[in-house]
Amino acid sequence: MIAPSMAMLQQVCSVPLARVVRRPSSFTIASSRNLYTSSPSSPHRTSHVDPHALLGMSEPELQQLAVDLGQQSYRGKQLYHLTYQRKLREIQDFSQLPQAFRNDLQEAGWKVGRSPIYRTVTAVDGTVKLLIKLEDNRLIETVGIPVEDDKGSMRLTACISSQVGCPLRCLFCATGKGGYSRNLQRHEIIEQVLAIEEIFKHRVTNVVFMGMGEPMLNLKSVLEAHRCLNKDVQIGQRMITISTVGVPNTIKKLASYKLQSTLALSLHAPNQKLRETIVPSAKSYPLDAIMKDCRDYFLETSRRVSFEYALLAGVNDRAEHAIELTELLHEWGRGSHVNLIPFNPIEGSDYQRPQKKAIQAFAAALESRKITVSIRQTRGLDASAACGQLRNEFQKSPLLADSDSLQSQPDIAVAC
């Protein structure tokens, strides 16, 4: 999945009365977050969703919260266990805690930070796409991709969203056709991984920020979610990939945190002119500047950069494009890998998927010039698994407050 987007939607968010009844007056943020704190929020619209969610908080922060509400600090350790190990959805399900403490949490406006699953669609290859209904009745997509190795062990990848929609409007992206609504809060990012685990009844082993949205435009929440997924959900940093189509100054900022995660750049063209026709935002970030920042990311972190390249028939898939791409990558040094992504067909797009022969020829041209390359296996093609496709089928504006009916319907198994 490649950089994405969504519909400009009217906000229909109501504020529960409990939210204004009681707030912890002395709650402070533990220093553990400082390692992941970025600059102030991006200039794009921020969320109006209540941020008082337990999900995303570290163990020291939860201990402090317990103390602020008049409890012993060990109650915070219990909160941590119930949130991240038991992975319960509602505070009232925290039966290990005194009823009075549970009531105090809720009266102060706290919640776990888990949202209902609005729709589940399962492809014949086992890929599962979820629509998650947020507090303000907007829908986001997340995808679970299971892969079983020869020994029977399963690798489960969660492809997660960072925004409700995307403002960058890449022309080949289904999400890009829907417009943009808002950034996701950190708990709304983290809960996608827990939802995938809940559906598969299996731990997520890999996370890719390749769902809806441009992660670099919501870097603060993405970094906070990254910290939590690594430290609290226990997913190794090297198992996490952050994708970007390229936002000026943000790759350099990400490199400064020295994360051991992979940076994936959605390149899609070997030169600036062609890239601007596919990725409109490329006009503000020249290719030479992007490549320099990617080289610096490798030098700063010792983590190679993966270049995502969506193959579009007759647009960027010819032999001369492959040769030009190898020259570009060799010019900017080592530490790169090309991930070829045959276009996932979407409704209303003029782009076509290349023939298998053309895909293999493109890959061979790169390999013959000593570029490491892989061809992404298309998963969930029958489950509208390209960014934004399923969500666009169900939502062009926020759902009505009573629109929970689909949640109770059985999963849809889609045949090819």
Return the active site residues.
Answer: 141, 387
Pairing of strands 262-266, 305-311: parallel
Encoded tokens for 217: 């435009």
Q: CA nearest 178: which of 18, 323, 17, 395?
A: 395
Encoded tokens for 200: 């598969």
Single-letter amino acid code for the residue at 212: M
